[in-house]
């Protein structure tokens, strides 16, 4: 590459600005403002300060593309991101993965069975969305598989999350149940669909956008996550306006960069209640005068939400502790 630099003393010709609509990990497709779609690679080092990411460029990024001497075009700059959803690549990893950027809405697709999404997973996702100022909603898919108990559980979850302020949709990509309202909700927005492998993200996009033709049925991916770390994310236009972003399924949702005293801010109902705690830096783990713990005991705050809060708090505290002992070089 340095050789090429020597040969071309002038900056390569800028082809324009556009949005990254596909990311395979090593290559990208950028749609220019004039509608042209260009296969691109990355040139340069785009890193968010202080965060190591496995993908420096994400679907949704607004980038500058330059023509190179050979036939590959290059992404040479990224415009500042309005927002993004990021997760830790794996629980122990220091590396993070940006799922998508510049979005209007992040939807977590969850299922009660095949696979069963845990409330911890849901809450970690929602907390991340709060932390990065992204509107989030919940979609419970595979409604066609529910028996009476499932429906009861679904109603309880809906009630819980509605009370906190999140919209909840019951849908079935298989039968089309509930899709009309969901489509209405996502039209004219750029929406990320996230969730475990096999919950039906791609099936939902196929059902919402006729002709999207995404590959589905990748349930076996669950067993291959180790080798399937290559990312393949794609933005699919909604003909009526807006777009949906399909990303590979994730197993866990490691949160990043949360200071322990901050975690409560990302659980709206805990945050509201924490105004009544005696100490402003209360972590709600048994401090004197804490208002949150009694609210959990009195069922004003759900136990599952509080458990999710504690799991993130623990992670954040470990990080903070580790920082203290980290060598300064």
Where do contacts with ligand GDP occur on this chain (CB under 6 A)?
141-142, 144-145, 172-174, 195, 197-203, 216-219, 249
- Position 301 contacts Zn ion (CB under 5 A): no
By CB under 5 A, the count of residues binding Mg ion is 2
**In this complex, which beta carbon is closest to Mg ion, that of residue 201 or of residue 283?**
201
128: closest CA among 113, 109, 108, 143? 108
**In this complex, which beta carbon is closest to Zn ion, that of residue 185 or of residue 271?**
271
Alpha carbon 82 to its chain's center:
14
Is 103 within 8 Å of 60 (Cβ atoms)? yes
Q: What is the largest CA-CA distance in the chain?
A: 72
- Position 202 contacts Mg ion (CB under 5 A): yes
**In this complex, which beta carbon is closest to Zn ion, that of residue 169 or of residue 309?**
309
The least CB distance from residue 29 to ligand GDP, in Å, is 19
Rg of the chain over all Cα atoms, to the nearest angstrom: 21
Q: Quick check: helix, strand or coil at residue 144?
A: helix
307: closest CA among 124, 154, 91, 138? 124
Residue number of the CB atom closest to ligand GDP:
200
**In this complex, which beta carbon is closest to Zn ion, that of residue 28 or of residue 267?**
267
The least CB distance from residue 152 to Mg ion, in Å, is 28
Q: Which stretch binds Zn ion (CB under 5 A): 57-65, 229-237, 244-252, 284-292?
A: 284-292
Report the b/e string of 293-329 with b at 16+ CB within 10 A. Answer: bebbeeeebbeebbebbeebbebbbebeeeeeeeeee
Residues that bind Zn ion (CB under 5 A): 277, 282, 284, 290, 292
Residues that bind Mg ion (CB under 5 A): 201-202
């Amino acid at each position: 590459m340095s050789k090429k630099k020597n040969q071309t003393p002038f900056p390569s010709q800028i082809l324009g600005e556009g949005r990254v609509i596909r990311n395979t990990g090593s290559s990208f497709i950028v749609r220019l403002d004039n509608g042209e779609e260009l296969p691109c690679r990355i040139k340069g080092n785009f890193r968010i300060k202080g965060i190591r990411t496995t993908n420096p460029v994400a679907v949704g990024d607004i980038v500058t593309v330059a023509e190179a001497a050979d036939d590959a075009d290059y992404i040479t700059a990224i415009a500042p991101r309005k927002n993004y959803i990021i997760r830790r690549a794996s629980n122990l990893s220091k590396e993070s993965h940006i799922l998508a950027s510049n979005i209007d809405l992040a939807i977590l697709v969850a299922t009660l069975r095949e696979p069963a999404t845990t409330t911890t997973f849901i809450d970690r996702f929602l907390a991340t969305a709060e932390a990065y100022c992204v509107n989030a909603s919940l979609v419970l898919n595979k409604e066609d598989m529910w028996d009476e108990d499932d429906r009861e559980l679904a109603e309880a979850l809906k009630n819980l999350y509605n009370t906190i302020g999140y919209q909840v949709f019951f849908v079935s990509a298989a039968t089309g149940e509930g899709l009309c309202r969901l489509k209405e909700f996502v039209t004219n927005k750029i929406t990320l669909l996230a969730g475990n492998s096999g919950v039906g993200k791609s099936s939902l996009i196929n059902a919402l956008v006729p002709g999207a033709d995404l590959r589905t049925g990748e349930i076996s991916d669950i067993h291959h996550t180790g080798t399937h770390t290559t990312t393949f994310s794609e933005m699919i236009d909604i003909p009526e306006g807006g777009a949906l972003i399909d990303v590979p399924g994730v197993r866990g949702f490691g949160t990043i960069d949360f200071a322990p005293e901050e975690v409560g801010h990302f659980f709206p109902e805990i945050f509201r209640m924490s105004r009544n705690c005696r100490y402003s830096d209360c972590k709600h783990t048994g401090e004197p005068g804490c208002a949150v713990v009694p609210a959990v005991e009195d069922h004003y705050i759900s136990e599952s939400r509080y458990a999710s809060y504690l799991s993130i708090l623990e992670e954040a505290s470990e990080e903070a502790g580790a920082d203290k002992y980290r060598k300064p070089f």
